[in-house]
Amino acid sequence: MASRRALVLLAVVASLCRAAVGQRAKPLLPGGPSCSTADNYTDGSPYKKNLDELLAGLPAAAGGNGWFYNGTAGAPGTADQVFGLIMCYADRNATQCRECLAGAPAGITTACPGSRNVRAAYDACVLRYSPPPSFFSTADLAVNFQVRAIAFAVDPDKMLNAWLTLMTDLTGRAASSPSRVANATTPYDGDPAMLVYGLAQCTRDLNATECTRCLVSMVGQLRRRFTNETGGAIKAFSCYVRYELGAFDITLPPEPPQPPPPPSSPQPGGSSSSSRTALAVGLSVGSAALLVILGSLICLSLRRRRRKRQQERERQLEEGSFFDGDDPAMEDDFEKGTGPKRFRYGELAIATDNFSDEKKLGEGGFGSVYRGRLKEMKLDVAIKRVSKGSKQGRKEYASEVRIISRLRHRNLVQLIGWCHGGGELLLVYELMPNGSLDTHLYGRSNAAVLPWPVRQEIVLGLGSALLYLHQEWEQCVLHRDIKPSNVMLDASFAAKLGDFGLARLVDHGRGSHTTVLAGTMGYMDPECMITGKTNAESDVYSLGVVLLEIACGRRPLVVIAEHEDDTMHLTQWVWDWYGRGRILDAADERLQGEFNGKEMECVMVVGLWCTHPDRSLRPTIRQAVNALRFEAPLPSLPSRMPVATFMPQVGTFTTSSAATGGTSSTVTSSVATGVGSSTGTSSVATGVSSSSILTASSTETSSLLK
């Protein structure tokens, strides 16, 4: 009887609270609600009565439940049942929350009159209702609106790395929290005085899986929409994400009450039995703790041993000793790869008619490439056969299998499989019907000219590939040999970057320098030839040269018409036209003016930006891609090409390059002061001054490159 009186009293109090809230509530109208227009309800209908009942109870119900409530009104299973949900955002204070909890239900029927299915996000809360079926427990991934900071980051890459790492961590923490909300901070660029604040929040009807799905989607939206901002927020109808360089208020709702632990049952036997029980529990806990410690030590030891073994293999790979015979360690490393399969030599010999000359597509510095047909897979492929006596070729074979086999991107050549044993090293790629880009830019004189729309798509595809390699994969991949002969074209002329023989992996956020100089003359960062160090900026330089080639239809070394014995680098030649305000005059003459002027200028200016003599003034690949996509403004470059500012370093470096599948360029390397031969032999002088590598003087430039 007493409990019944308590329930009645509680109902009366709740009713009075709802009435008081309703009297004080100021109706709020959402900025852009989603209101259904089909099968609307009418005044006085059962659905309207149920909706009014639900909306009237939401403020008090949410206020007493940690600023969140979801419930129903009406007979279960009927068409007039109403499902409703309301939640406050955790970055709003208690006053703002109470006003939204009261005002949103009071004004929503004015914003969406007659609508049976409504989704509305306000400044401080989100409100939803609908007829059956229930939307509870299923994440709604529609973006309602976004808010961006008005300030831009000085270093977009560091800002992106900071907030993306933070939001990724908060996604897991929010999903595992009973209140489905988490917030934290992280230092920006390692400076504890500059903190990036983050918040991730889901509606509490979602389980951990659905909450994670929603947050991951919204963090992805943040990354796509906010490439250079110091803060941003996206509100969906099921979750909310926000980051900002600087503090913002967060008022976390109280954790939902946890059920009390079950009462302990008295054990027969009195205190002696209790002591024995306590002793048993203590021994069990101690044993478990000891096992955990021992297990941790064993795992740590194995991890250190594995890391040491990996470092030794990488050292052997650099020295070229990794393939001296059939190495069991290599077998184990390759067999763990996912995707590409291991072929038997006999399968590939049959596919190429025993590697007949009729099947040969081309010959590179370290082997030949053949066309093959894998009958069981009903697939045409290109098969690279590494020269048996080529030590560099064996290094590049290992690099290809260990790196490209783990990469997945539409603008990268796909590695189908591999084969080694008995002295043979074979790589199997998807066949590129249209060969390499250089054959279309500098092919036969009577060949069809590559039209500008196709070139523009090639430019965007190549930029997308390098963006994936540098910033979007789990590690940063330095390609180190970007050039037209390594850009393959599929049946629809989509660009696919290939030949990862010189590629190296470096960790994000660490110095991305490699100490072995590699690449092809004309495409190599001039600073690399002085310092012997390559990094992401070196790849950006090579990309810039290729962009200029695509736009101008000229090789990296340009013959000066007035002095046919003199040459200058393509960058200098285009920069001269840029300085005169006539950059479009540098466009490929074979196009006969049939191109989009804005796109052509964009490609050439970004090409100059990427080949800027000062490495620190070059764009990141993300900045370059944003400019190519017209998502960011073009830079303002000086009218004359700046003089390189890096200092020479005495020493000797050797360059090397490998031919890509389907090409026929032969490249070797030597350390000398001679000039390259027509077969593609490259030479690097020792102790060369920086001015002879790249300066604003075309005479000095041509003295080295001619």
Active site residues: 481
523 in the same domain as 672: yes
Q: How confident is the model at residue 266 (pLDDT cuts 50, 70, 90)?
A: very low
Please report, rounded to a whole number, the percentage of residues in the chain having pLDDT higher than 70. 69
First to last CA, the chain: 104
For helices 570-579 and 597-610, give the axis angle rounded to 10 degrees.
120
What is the extent of the structural domain holding 514? 437-705
DSSP label of 152: B
Give DSSP secondary structure letters for 59-103: HHHHHTTTSEEEEEESSTTSTT-EEEEEEE-TTS-HHHHHHHHHH
Please report, rounded to a whole number, the percentage of residues in the chain having pLDDT higher than 90. 37
555: left (phi over 0), alpha (psi -120 to 50) or beta: beta
Average of pLDDT values for 208-234?
Answer: 87
- The domain total for the chain is 4
163 in the same domain as 93: no
* CATH code, domain carrying 587: 1.10.510.10
Provide the pLDDT for residue 361.
Answer: 87
Q: Which helix (H) or strand (E) holds 286?
A: helix 270-319
Average of pLDDT values for 596-617?
Answer: 95
225 in the same domain as 101: no
When comparing pLDDT for 521 and 612, which is higher? Answer: 612
**Residues 86, 71: Cα–Cα separation, whole Å:** 9
**Residues 578, 584: Cα–Cα separation, whole Å:** 8
The sheet carrying 143-148 orders its strands as 143-148, 231-236, 239-245, 191-202, 181-188
> Quick count: other Cβ atoms within 10 Å of Cβ 220?
13
694 in the same domain as 553: yes
* Residues forming a β-bridge with 235: 145, 240
Provide the pLDDT for residue 699.
Answer: 31
Q: What is the mean pLDDT of the chain?
A: 76
Of 236, 239, 151, 237, the residue nearest 196 (C-alpha): 151
446 in the same domain as 411: no
519 in the same domain as 370: no
Whether pLDDT at 378 is above 60: yes
Structure tokens at 29: 């109208």
Residue 677 is assigned to a structural domain of this protein: yes
Q: What residue numbers does the annotated binding site for ATP cover? A: 384
376 in the same domain as 508: no
Structure tokens at 247: 């503090």
Residue 280 is assigned to a structural domain of this protein: no
Provide the pLDDT for residue 559.
Answer: 63
Between the alpha carbon of residue 345 and those of residues 355, 361, 419, 650, the distances in Å are 11, 19, 6, 46
Peptide bond preceding 484 in cis form (omega within 30 of 0):
no
* Residues forming a β-bridge with 130: 83
The answer to whether 432 and 369 have CB atoms below 8 angstroms apart is: no
Q: What residue numbers does the annotated binding site cover? A: 384
Average of pLDDT values for 235-258?
Answer: 79
Structure tokens at 17: 């609270």
Residue 211 is assigned to a structural domain of this protein: yes
Of 147, 318, 181, 173, the residue nearest 251 (C-alpha): 181
Beta strands in 189-230 (DSSP E): 191-202
552 in the same domain as 411: no
Provide the pLDDT for residue 546.
Answer: 97
Tens-place pLDDT, residues 331-369 = 554 555 456 788 888 888 888 988 888 999 887 666 789
Of 456, 461, 476, the residue nearest 411 (C-alpha): 461
CB-based burial, 28-53: b 16+ in 10 Å, e otherwise: bebeebbbeeeeebeeeeebbbbbee
Provide the pLDDT for residue 286.
Answer: 57
